[in-house]
Amino acid sequence: MADTGTISFDVDGMTCASCALRIERVLGRQPGVDEAVVSFPGQEARVKATPTVDIGALEDAVARIGYTISAIGPGDERISPSARHAGEAAAQRRNLIGAAVLALPLMLLGMFGPSPMGATASMAAEGPGGAEWAQLLLTLPVVFVFGAQFHRNAWRRLRAGGAGMDTLISVGTLATFGYSLWAMFAGHHVFFETAGVIVTLILAGRFLEARAKGRASAAVTRLLELGAKQARVIRGGEAMMVDPLTLAPGDRVVVLAGEKIPVDGRIVAGTSTVDESMLTGESAPVEHQPGDTVYGATVNQEGRLEVEVTGVGPNTMLAQIVRLVEDAQATKAPIQDLADRVSGVFVPVVIAIAVVVLGGWLLWGADTADAVRNAVAVLIIACPCALGLATPTGIMVGSGRGAELGVLFKDAEVFERSRTIDTVVFDKTGTLTRGAMTLADLEVVGDQLRFLRLVGSVEAASSHPIGKAVALGAE
């Protein structure tokens, strides 16, 4: 078997877990592809493929089913997932507010306005009243402006020969709106408020979903922010401040006491203790001397260090940790495969059930309004978005939060297997104990307060752990 590599893609157009499953299946059938995993919360696809795979063919295959993917190169600038989700949440918030403002009076009119439950010749002859016209005007922007995304997505899936959760929403709201428009002139009871309230409630769910995905992906962004923002590089015999990403292997940087080390490198001059807790979880500073390796985002505790650069940006230990977290977030737990399979067949099954419900009520002799209302209820309440979203979002939150606390997960299956753990072994220092030095006691011959003031003033600017403890105790 030929060697395979992993290609990452940004994905646009997914609205539910069944979308991710459909893209996975299409990518998995392409020549040269060994495995494809698509993350709905992360809006990303990862494909294991041979080096000869045609990336353009993969993008075209996905485009034919109504989605867009674009390969992510090593040096490509891309919008962070947290920023993307923040933008999505802002857009959904605007739609929600607009729909809610109109849905409230619409609901009140539906509840307390005229309510002709049966048609008569006189009602049909008189035509719609003011309450019906008001409901129509309020419903139009809710369904076709603030809820336009559902109809666009449903049409896109239909053109590609598929269906998604938005198909259920679109068919349900359009059926309710269409029936109400007919009933308005036939003298029957209208259900405009049902269509408006349904769209508003689903928009509220989309807003909360986007915000949850943003919070989940923000953990990776916070990890990246641990790195130093500037580096003091020596060029032409002088030190100057530059962006760490502009450095190259072989450059020399100076790190003063209390500063973050901006890159991975090797100490060429100076000795110091370095706080590596963000990498190792060990709270006690580590002593370093010339020839030792140091890592970006760790903190130089004392003294001046001169470091020769060996790794910058994506080649640092911090970047490797971030990649490990992203890889874990992109994998799937076994239970998620079951949820995805259910989501994949759910939409056509629900539509079929709704048609059976409609036909059954009509054959039973029920009123058309009751039959339509029951069929629409099946379409709307059956959306299994939570089924497909709960597991991947939980994995994103868990792996990201774990990385912040120094716990790294290799893949999503670890979360599921962790239920079998019966023994946990902890490192004591810094885990079960604080690992922070404190001034416990002292014996002074003479004025103790004066002694503490003098010692505290001497150690006030110290970055050494013992000096900090003395200064804090003197306060």
Catalytic residues: 427
Q: Give yes or no for a contact between 31 and 52, defined as CB atoms under 8 angstroms apart.
A: no
Q: Give yes or no for a contact between 109 and 135, defined as CB atoms under 8 angstroms apart.
A: yes
d(C-alpha 144, C-alpha 349), whole Å: 26
d(C-alpha 5, C-alpha 436), whole Å: 44
Strands 299-300, 293-294: pairing kind: unpaired
| Residue whose pair of structure tokens reads 């009520």 in the numeric block | 361
Paired tokens of 142: 């809710």
Q: How far is CA 72 from the centre of its chain?
A: 18
DSSP 199-237: HHHHHHHHHHHHHHHHHHHHHHHHHHTTS-S-EEEEETT
Instruction: Convert 105-125 to b/e letters by CB count within 10 Å (16 or more is b).
Output: ebbebbeebeeeeebeeebee
Q: Give yes or no for a contact between 473 and 458, defined as CB atoms under 8 angstroms apart.
A: no
d(C-alpha 315, C-alpha 306), whole Å: 20
Residue 293 β-bridge partners: 266
d(C-alpha 269, C-alpha 221), whole Å: 33
Q: What is the dihedral of CA 464, 469, 471, 474, to 10 degrees?
A: -160
Angle made by CA atoms 443, 449, 455, in degrees to the nearest 5:
75
Paired tokens of 282: 């060990």
Residue 300 β-bridge partners: 274
d(C-alpha 238, C-alpha 169), whole Å: 65
Contacts of 63 (CB under 8 A, 6+ apart): 69
Q: Where are the alpha helices (DSSP H) in 252-384?
A: 277-280, 317-330, 334-363, 368-381
d(C-alpha 308, C-alpha 267), whole Å: 6
Q: Give yes or no for a contact between 68 and 26, defined as CB atoms under 8 angstroms apart.
A: no
Q: Give yes or no for a contact between 326 and 220, defined as CB atoms under 8 angstroms apart.
A: yes
